[in-house]
């Protein structure tokens, strides 16, 4: 085997979560309130558009979670040896961006460095000028004359490829939908154009086309240029920005998985049982809220660093160390962020336990835990789902803030927070190096905006009280 698979803790958790989601959607659910809410969600144009954008980020994060060690060049008479460096499938796909390292800063789509250097001409004359990049625009013989035409051609070619790829995906999707509805493509086309059709297929097709064109244009430009420029050590900023997607997604999803059991169990228990149980739970989350979360996270991160330094044998690679710190940060954020949802579920449970059907079930001798599972929890699904989706964007921003303060993910791990932390020093340069900050902010803004818009759609679809009848 030319590669050795490596499964990090976060890889196992994220793929377990993906498997559970696919299993839940693959089951045939009976018609009911939850089923109707999902039907309303997929009929909302904003939910479809933001969901497709989030799907692109999720696919990138999953590709970056498939890690392995490549095999070193074989030596006769020796067993296969594997590299100590752990890379992902995304690294392999972005190998040109990862390996095309320049000397230092270069602006987006530039052909020369951003700083002047002393150069010796063939005749012995010394002058200071902007040297040519080693990889950016290397195929151009005369950059000043050919750059604009080459960039325009690549943008046009990428746009055509993107439109064709979107048309192919639309054709495949139409074929699958026709198979599900057991009709021909002509009949499906008439159904989509009919007045009774509620699927926002125009929004889906437009969003899919825009995403395909943007990605195809980026691929075409990245083949010959540094689309977002390079940083201080000459690394491609686009590569660092794309690699940071996994970190943001893991912070948002794993933290939610950790805090959700605490919030649901303690919130429902406090509202249903009341008395001393309610007092104890309220005391716990009130005490946690009284402690500044940044100080608690900083103290926990320091303890984790001491543990890692005391047990270096537990981490056989740099990827294992950074992964352990990321997982520990998710745990700390989960422990400190469950209180808001817990308080919300407690208040709603206080109202639900007084309803007639709950009192009737209690009078018939239904156990407390069965009553909470069958009658209380199903009426809280919409609150849990809405809170989880809306908290996702806040957790992505929290990672950026914590990394900026120096208590976030490992500095060796690509993340938007680390990019912003580095960019604050670059903004003080003259001339200003602005593109790392813009690149990190653009992707983070896109992810957070899509998550917020999707959360609004989830709230409208699942909230039975806020929906207009």
Residue-range domains of the chain with CATH = 237-462 (1.10.3720.10)
Q: Which residue has the tokens 């479809």?
A: 48
Question: What are the pLDDT digits (tens) for 378-392?
Answer: 778 778 877 887 777
Which of 454, 447, 388 lies closest to 416 in space, CA to CA? 447
What does the DSSP 8-state code read for residue 103?
Answer: S
Kindly report the average pLDDT of the chain as a whole number.
83
Element housing 5 (H / E): strand 3-6
Question: pLDDT tens digits for 331-351?
Answer: 888 888 888 888 888 888 888
pLDDT digits (tens, 9 = 90+) for 107-133: 899 888 888 887 777 776 777 778 888
Tell me the C-alpha distance between 459 and 469, whole Å. 15
Residue 27: predicted pLDDT = 62
User: How far is residue 315's CA from residue 265's CA, in Å, rounded to a whole number?
Assistant: 34
How far is CA 128 from each of CA 116, 131, 138, rounded to the nearest angstrom? 6, 9, 20
Statement: residue 254 has pLDDT above 80: yes
Residue with tokens 């999720």: 58
Provide mean pLDDT across the span 88-101: 89
The pLDDT of 49-64, averaged and rounded, is 92
Characterize 336-371 residue by residue with b for buried, 16 or more Cβ atoms within 10 angstroms of its Cβ, and e for exposed. bbbbbbbbbbbebbeebbeeeebeebeeeeeeeeeb
Distance CA 468, CA 41 (A): 14
């Amino acid at each position: 085997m030319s590669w050795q698979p490596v499964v990090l803790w976060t890889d196992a958790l994220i793929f377990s979560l993906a498997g559970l989601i696919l299993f839940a959607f693959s089951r045939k659910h009976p018609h009911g309130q939850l089923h109707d809410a999902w039907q309303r969600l997929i009929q909302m144009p904003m939910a479809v558009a933001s969901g497709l954008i989030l799907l692109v980020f999720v696919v990138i994060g999953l590709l970056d979670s498939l890690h392995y060690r490549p095999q070193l060049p074989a030596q006769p008479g020796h067993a296969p040896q594997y590299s100590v460096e752990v890379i992902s499938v995304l690294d392999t796909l972005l190998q040109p961006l990862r390996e095309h390292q320049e000397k230092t800063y270069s602006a987006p789509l530039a052909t020369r460095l951003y700083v002047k250097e002393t150069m010796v001409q063939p005749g012995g004359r010394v002058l200071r000028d902007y040297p040519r990049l080693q990889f950016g625009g290397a195929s151009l013989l005369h950059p000043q004359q050919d750059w604009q035409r080459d960039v325009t051609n690549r943008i046009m070619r990428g746009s055509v490829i993107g439109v064709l790829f979107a048309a192919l995906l639309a054709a495949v999707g139409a074929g699958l939908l026709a198979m599900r509805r057991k009709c021909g493509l002509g009949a499906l086309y008439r159904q989509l154009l009919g007045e009774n059709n509620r699927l926002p297929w125009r929004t889906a097709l437009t969003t899919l086309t825009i995403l395909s064109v943007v990605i195809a244009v980026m691929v075409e430009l990245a083949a010959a240029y540094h689309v977002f420029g390079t940083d201080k050590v000459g690394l491609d900023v686009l590569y660092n920005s794309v690699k940071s997607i996994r970190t943001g997604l893991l912070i948002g999803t794993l933290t939610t998985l950790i805090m959700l059991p605490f919030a649901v169990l303690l919130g429902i228990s406090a509202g249903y049982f009341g008395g001393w149980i309610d007092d104890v739970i309220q005391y716990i989350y009130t005490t946690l809220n009284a402690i500044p979360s940044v100080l608690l996270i900083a103290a926990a991160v320091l303890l984790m660093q001491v543990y890692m330094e005391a047990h270096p044998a537990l981490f056989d690679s740099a990827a294992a160390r950074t992964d352990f710190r990321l997982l520990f940060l998710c745990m700390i954020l989960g422990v400190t962020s469950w209180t808001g949802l817990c308080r919300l579920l407690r208040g709603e449970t206080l109202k639900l336990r007084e309803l007639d059907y709950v009192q009737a079930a209690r009078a018939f001798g239904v156990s407390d835990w069965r009553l909470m599972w069958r009658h209380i929890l199903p009426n809280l699904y919409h609150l849990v789902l809405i809170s989880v989706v809306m908290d996702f964007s806040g957790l992505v921003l929290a990672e950026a803030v914590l990394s900026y303060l120096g208590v976030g993910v490992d500095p060796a791990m690509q993340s938007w927070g680390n990019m912003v932390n580095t960019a604050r020093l670059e903004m003080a340069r003259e001339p200003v190096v602005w593109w790392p900050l813009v690149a990190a902010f653009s992707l983070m803004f896109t992810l957070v905006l899509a998550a917020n818009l999707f959360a609004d759609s989830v709230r409208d679809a699942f909230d039975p009280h806020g929906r207009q009848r």
